[in-house]
Amino acid sequence: MAEDSLKVHTASIAGVGSELVRYRQLLVSLTWRDIRIRYKQSLLGVAWAVLLPLSMMLIFTFVFTRAIDTSSVLKVNMPYALFAYIGLVPWTFFSQSLTGCVNSLVANRNLVTKVYFPREVFPLSCVGGAFVDFCIAMAVLVGLVAYFHFSGTWTFTPRTTLLFLPVVVAVQIVMSVGIGMMLAMANLFYRDVRQIAGVTIQLLMFVSNVVVPIPQDGSLLGRIIALNPMVPIIGAYRDCVIHGHLPGAGGFIYATVVAFIVLVCGWACFRRASYRFAECI
Partner 1 sequence: MTDLVASFSHVSKRFRLGETHDSLRDLIASAGSRLIGRRKESSRSAFWALDDVNFEVRRGEALGIIGPNGAGKSTALKLLAGILLPEKGRIEVNGRLAALIEVGAGFHGDLTGRENVFLNGAILGMDKRDICNKLDAIVAFAGIERFLDMPVKRYSSGMYARLGFAIAAHVDPDILLVDEVLSVGDAVFRLRCIDRMNELLRGGTTLVFVTHNLDQMQSVCQRAVVIDRGKSVFSGPSREAVAHYLKAMSSSYTTRPTDIPSNEQDRADGVALVNLRCLDDADEEIVWARSRQPVRVEVELRVARPIPKAVIELNMRASVNENLLSVNSGRDGSTFNLASGLHRVVLNIPALPLSGGQYFWNLRIWDADSGTAKLDTPFRYPLVLDDGGRTNGVLCIAHDWQHKIETETHVAFPDQQALIAGRIGT
> Where along the sequence are the contacts to partner 1 (CB under 8 A)?
1-9, 22-23, 25-26, 28-30, 33, 36-37, 40-41, 110-117, 189-193, 275-276, 278-280
> Helices 192-206 and 80-107 sit at what angle, rounded to 10 degrees?
170
Residue 25 exposure: Cα atoms within 13 Å on the Cβ side: 1
For partner 1, the closer of residues 191 and 245 by Cβ is 191
* Rounded least distance, CB 26 to partner 1, Å: 4
* Rounded least distance, CB 24 to partner 1, Å: 9
For partner 1, the closer of residues 69 and 192 by Cβ is 192
Cα 130 to its chain centre, rounded Å, is 7
For partner 1, the closer of residues 109 and 245 by Cβ is 109
* Rounded least distance, CB 130 to partner 1, Å: 18
* Rounded least distance, CB 272 to partner 1, Å: 11
Give me the amino acid identity at 167: V
**Closest C-alpha among 85, 72, 254, 243 to residue 164:** 243
- Neighbouring CB atoms inside 10 A of 104's CB total 27
Q: How far is it, in rounded angstroms, from Cα 62 to Cα 54?
A: 12
**Closest C-alpha among 262, 239, 49, 30 to residue 124:** 30
* Rounded least distance, CB 263 to partner 1, Å: 24
- Neighbouring CB atoms inside 10 A of 148's CB total 17
For partner 1, the closer of residues 128 and 235 by Cβ is 128
Residue 39 exposure: Cα atoms within 13 Å on the Cβ side: 17
For partner 1, the closer of residues 116 and 150 by Cβ is 116
For partner 1, the closer of residues 110 and 216 by Cβ is 110
* Rounded least distance, CB 53 to partner 1, Å: 25
